């Protein structure tokens, strides 16, 4: 009797190192952003640098993306425990940079704001880096101080004091948009870690008072709030930017005027390739383009919070808080930028993550995604019984 050969062992499918759907979504946003930055910046580039340099902002944006991807690959190789170990040093570096940007001669002033430090080929914005550093520090802090999460003096007060210092430095630039995002990042991390609900509600009640105080200190902020309710009351001054953004949305209708066919970007809509790039996208790609971008961000946030929940189930509280904090950061900033473009929120100098023109924003966003992918990578290793 002839023995039949033993069946070949069943091969397990090769598991990817990271969430490929998350990576693909980020690449789609970066790619669409690059196309829209070029489309929205042609008129500005030609008026500033001549007709032969219409690719100026496209080239720089592509360079920023390349730098962000290269730096992101390097950060992906850094174990998550390194970020936790050196979180306080990173926070100190961030505060020093916020102080440096206020020193005349070191910083670069644009439209009355000192937010940038000029480097070789990029105006570096320390507030973008501070978003990442405050997230990492707060996540490490609440993990170390877990026993005091319901204690005001030992748990909550130090973070509140830190936020006060950072906020004052940012408001001296001034940069209210970054202040709101950074405060939201820190407080959301504390809330997700189980912050006492009484302290959270007390702080939430304090927010309107602080906003009212900031409006009183700087009356132009009230003008921006009034412009939301009736931008057509002063369409050539206080409501100029918003009225042209709304016109762009109206011209786009369902399917858009066509890529490259925007009228508003022809020196009508200020900051068309930065803060108001979403309005140009709405004009050229219509409701379909707007819905696509919103859907991409929604799907991205779903994948991000999935990574955070997985880290929590595997016992990595620090990784879980960092991942979910990145989700809050990117989601809130995208919401604010879109809301400003649609006239739902007062004008703020916040870019649309991965899409708007801006070196600091693109690079730091890529680094944040790299850290997120590192958390996902370590989650997958732990499931296989490997200690990263």
236-265 pLDDT, tens digit each: 777 888 888 999 999 999 999 999 889 999
Contact between 30 and 10 (Cβ < 8 Å)? no
SS3 109: strand
Q: What is the pLDDT of residue 310?
A: 96
Q: What is the pLDDT of residue 1?
A: 45
Distance between CA atoms of 95 and 66, rounded to whole angstroms? 27
For 273-282, what is the mean pLDDT?
A: 92
List beta partners, residue 117: 124
Strand residues in the chain grouped as ranges (E): 108-110, 113-118, 123-124
User: Of 100-104, 215-219, 231-235, 324-328, which has the strongest mean pLDDT?
Assistant: 324-328
Q: What is the pLDDT of residue 15?
A: 67
Neighbours of 69 (CB within 10 A): 17
Percent residues over pLDDT 90 in the chain: 55
Kindly indicate the confidence band of residue 331, based on its pLDDT and cuts at 50, 70 and 90.
very high
User: What is the tally of helices (H) and strands (E) in the chain?
Assistant: 13, 3
For 172-184, what is the mean pLDDT?
A: 88
Contact between 277 and 355 (Cβ < 8 Å)? yes
Q: What is the pLDDT of residue 377?
A: 96
Kindly indicate the confidence band of residue 174, based on its pLDDT and cuts at 50, 70 and 90.
confident
Q: What is the pLDDT of residue 239?
A: 80
**CA torsion through residues 343, 345, 348, 354, sign:** negative
Does the model's pTM come out above 0.85?
yes
SS3 110: strand
Residue 206: is its pLDDT beyond 80?
no
């Amino acid at each position: 009797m002839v023995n039949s050969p033993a069946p070949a062992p069943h091969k397990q499918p090769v598991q990817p190192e990271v969430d490929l759907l998350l990576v693909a979504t980020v690449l789609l946003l970066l790619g669409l952003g690059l196309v829209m930055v070029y489309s929205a910046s042609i008129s500005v580039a030609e008026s500033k640098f001549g007709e032969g340099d219409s690719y100026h902002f496209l080239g720089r944006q592509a360079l920023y993306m390349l730098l962000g991807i290269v730096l992101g690959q390097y950060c992906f190789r850094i174990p998550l425990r390194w970020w936790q170990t050196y979180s306080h040093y990173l926070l100190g570096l961030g505060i020093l940079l916020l102080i440096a940007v206020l020193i005349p001669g070191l910083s670069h002033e644009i439209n009355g704001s000192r937010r940038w430090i000029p480097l070789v080929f990029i105006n570096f914005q320390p507030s973008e880096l501070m978003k990442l550093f405050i997230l990492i520090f707060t996540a490490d802090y609440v993990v170390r101080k877990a026993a005091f999460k319901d204690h005001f003096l030992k748990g909550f007060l130090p973070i509140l004091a830190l936020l006060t210092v950072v906020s004052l430095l940012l408001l001296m630039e001034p940069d209210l948009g970054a202040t709101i995002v950074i405060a939201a990042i820190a407080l959301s991390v504390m809330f997700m870690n189980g912050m006492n609900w009484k302290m959270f509600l007390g702080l939430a009640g304090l927010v309107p008072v602080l906003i009212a105080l900031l409006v009183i200190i700087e009356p132009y902020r009230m003008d921006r709030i009034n412009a939301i309710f009736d931008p057509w009351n002063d369409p050539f001054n206080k409501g100029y930017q918003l009225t042209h953004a709304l016109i762009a949305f109206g011209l786009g209708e369902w399917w858009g005027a066509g890529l490259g066919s925007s009228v508003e970007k022809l020196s009508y809509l200020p900051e068309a390739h930065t803060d108001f790039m979403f309005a140009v996208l709405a004009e050229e790609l219509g409701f379909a383009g707007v819905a696509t971008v919103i859907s991409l961000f929604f799907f991205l946030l779903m994948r991000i919070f999935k990574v955070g929940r997985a880290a929590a189930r595997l016992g990595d509280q620090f990784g879980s808080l960092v991942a979910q904090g990145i989700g809050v950061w990117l989601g809130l900033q995208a919401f604010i930028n879109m809301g400003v473009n649609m006239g739902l929120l007062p004008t703020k100098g916040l870019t649309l993550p991965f899409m708007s023109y801006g070196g600091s924003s693109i690079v730091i966003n890529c680094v944040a995604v790299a850290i997120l992918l590192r958390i996902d990578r370590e989650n997958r290793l732990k499931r296989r019984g490997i200690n990263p």
